[in-house]
Amino acid sequence: MSTQDTVNSSRRNLVIIVSAAAMIAVAVILFAFFRLRPTKQAATEAPAAAASTGTVKFLMEQQWLIRMKLALVEEQTVARQITATGRVIPAANSQAIVAPPVGGILSGRNLPRVGQRVARGQAIAIVQQTATSAEQAQVRAAAASLSLENARLEADRRTAAGELEAARVRLDLATKEAARAQRLYERKAFSERQLQAAEADLKATKAAYDAAAKRVEALSSSPAVANASRGVGSANASYTVSAPLSGYVTKVNKSLGEQVQPGEAILEISNLDTVWVEAPIFERDLSRLAGNVSATFTTPAYPNQEFQGVVLDIGAVIEEQTRASKVTFQLPNDGRALRLGMQANVRLDAGEQVTAMLIPKEAVLEHEGKKIVYVLLSGEEFERREVVIGDEMGNKVAVLSGLNKGERVVTQGAYQLKLQELKPAEAGAHTHET
């Protein structure tokens, strides 16, 4: 064989070897691709399958760490509730705006502050009235006129006293003359006509004396003009403003030293021993308010405290936009916990009985627009359960569907379970791996 043939043969062998190596490499790559692909799909699909079941693993150590608490699902027959949101308003005749009937400058020791209790009839302030120059001139003219009248009255009194004294003297003389005429008549020294003339003169003198005495008495018993003259010495005067009712000061509009006009409000007093709550109730529920309906109220300020009240009045008008009527409730407020304008959440028993499962309100969470709870399956396994919520009963809530009697739901720690379900890799910080 020639040298050229040897070279050509070597090249063919090299091409065959390279081609075989390439085919082996392609086969290895394809094998690896198809071998690993199902494993990757299984790894990605496994968490989705676990999430779709709503089952959450939560280790005992994690439960102890967050101090997890459970509550038993209780089955009870409860009254269907009517709920509404209203506000606290003053009861009738328990609020007053204090406004003086006269104008002037406010004076006194101090005005009551907001929140201070005042008693009925207690002096609130003094209004000092200062007259204008024209009013002062009128007062001086009236005083001068009264002084003139007093002088005339005093002169009349002196004249009447003199006339009374003269009448008394004449009466004494007429009395003596009548007695002398009677003696002389008895002795036959006076005629009957002379006796009758003496007696007639005595009667006339007695009548004149009585008239003079009555005139003196009338003038002496009329001191009104004199007293009035002392009261009109100045046009300046003061007026005491008193509290019209007992209660607490809820608003102060003026300060000492300010000018106040007649009828202008100085402050506002409210009696908070009894308050009203006004709340809208839908017209479909108004028929259920007949009879003895108990009403329970809660407020954002005191979420754990309940107040009891009664229906006072059901409004006669239905609002066209809301289809609700304003219902007024009356509540005792001895501790003054309820303040005017405060929001009040109203809950009424509608009389209709339903059977429901009761659980604490803190066990209910929201998930994608739905209400959920976590139910204990085993020591470290919990199940997410969608539920239909009914009315609230104090610190508990009625569940209409989704739970069974005797199951246990998570109260404290429910939110951590939700985080564990959404992000198991991050929330499950503790494992048993070594």
321 and 360 share a domain? Answer: no
Neighbours of 255 (CB within 10 A): 11
Q: Is the pLDDT of residue 30 over 70?
A: no
In the chain, the percentage of residues whose pLDDT exceeds 90 is 14
**Residue 431 CB partners (closer than 8 Å, separation 6+):** 59
The answer to whether residue 215 is domain-embedded is yes
Percent of the chain with pLDDT over 70: 79
Q: What is the mean pLDDT of the chain?
A: 79
Domain termination site, one of 180, 215, 231? 231
Domain harbouring 61, CATH code: 2.40.420.20
Q: Is there a contact between 309 and 367 (Cβ–Cβ < 8 Å)? A: no
Indicate the residue among 270, 287, 317 that finishes a domain: 270
Q: In total, how many domains does the chain have?
A: 5
83/45: higher pLDDT:
83
Judge if 151 and 196 occupy the same domain: yes
Specify which residues 117 forms β-bridges with.
248
- Give the model confidence (pLDDT) of 184-236 as tens digits: 888 888 888 888 888 888 888 889 888 888 888 888 876 655 454 454 455 56
Q: Are residues 168 and 210 part of one domain?
A: yes
Do residues 306 and 339 share a domain? yes
Q: Which domain holds residue 42?
A: 1-46
pLDDT per position as a tens digit, 308-340: 888 888 888 999 888 999 999 999 988 888 888
Tokens 């009891």 label which residue? 308
Same domain, 225 and 360: no
Give residues with Cβ within 8 angstroms of 253, minimum separation 6.
264, 265, 266, 267, 268
- DSSP 3-state assignment of 254? coil
pLDDT of residue 197: 86
Cα 217–Cα 219–Cα 223 angle in degrees, nearest 5: 115
CA dist 208 and 216 (Å) reads 13
In a domain, 396, yes or no: yes
The CATH number that applies at residue 325 is 2.40.30.170
Residues 188 and 331 in one domain: no
- Residue at 209: amino acid letter: Y
- Helix, strand, or coil here: 224? helix
| CA–CA distance, 35 with 41 (Å, rounded to integer) | 11
Residue 432 belongs to some domain of the structure: no
Nearest to 174 by CA among 196, 210, 205, 213: 205
What does the pLDDT look like over 100-159, one tens digit per residue? Answer: 888 888 887 788 888 888 899 888 888 887 766 676 677 677 777 777 888 888 888 888
Question: Which residue, chain included where needed, has tokens 């496994």?
Answer: 46
336: which residues sit within 8 A by CB, 6+ positions away?
248, 272
Q: What is the C-alpha to C-alpha distance for residues 222 and 288, in angstroms, rounded to an integer?
A: 72
pLDDT average, residue stretch 8-23: 58
- Whichever domain contains 105, its CATH number is 2.40.50.100
Residue 34 binned pLDDT confidence (cut-offs 50, 70, 90): very low
Q: Is the pLDDT of residue 375 over 90?
A: yes
| CA 409/CA 357 separation, integer angstroms | 12
Q: What backbone torsions phi and psi does residue 310 show, to the nearest 5 degrees?
A: -130, 155
Which residues have a Cβ under 8 Å from the Cβ of 41 and sit 6 or more positions away?
none
pLDDT value, residue 82: 81
The answer to whether residues 240 and 126 belong to one domain is yes
Tally of CA atoms within 13 A in the half-sphere of 365 that contains its CB? 19
Kindly report the pTM of this predicted structure: 0.48
How many alpha carbons fall within 13 Å on the CB side of residue 164? 16
Paired residues of 276 in beta bridges: 89, 330
pLDDT at 50 exceeding the cut of 80: no
Instruction: Indicate whether 288 and 411 sit together in one domain.
Output: no
Nearest CA to 289 among 348, 354, 346, 329? 348
Express each pLDDT in 287-316 by its tens digit: 777 666 778 898 998 888 889 888 888 888
Residue that finishes a domain, picked among 201, 231, 261: 231
Region 27-43: mean pLDDT is 46
Q: Residue 29 has what pLDDT?
A: 56
Does residue 354 or residue 345 have the better pLDDT?
Answer: 345
Question: Which two three-digit tokens encode residue 174?
Answer: 């007429």
Instruction: Examine residue 434 and state whether it is found in any structural domain, yes or no.
Output: no
* Residue 433 maps to a domain: no
Classify 409 as helix, strand or coil: strand
Element (H, E) at 153: helix 133-186
Judge whether residue 432 has pLDDT over 70. Answer: no
pLDDT at 410: 93
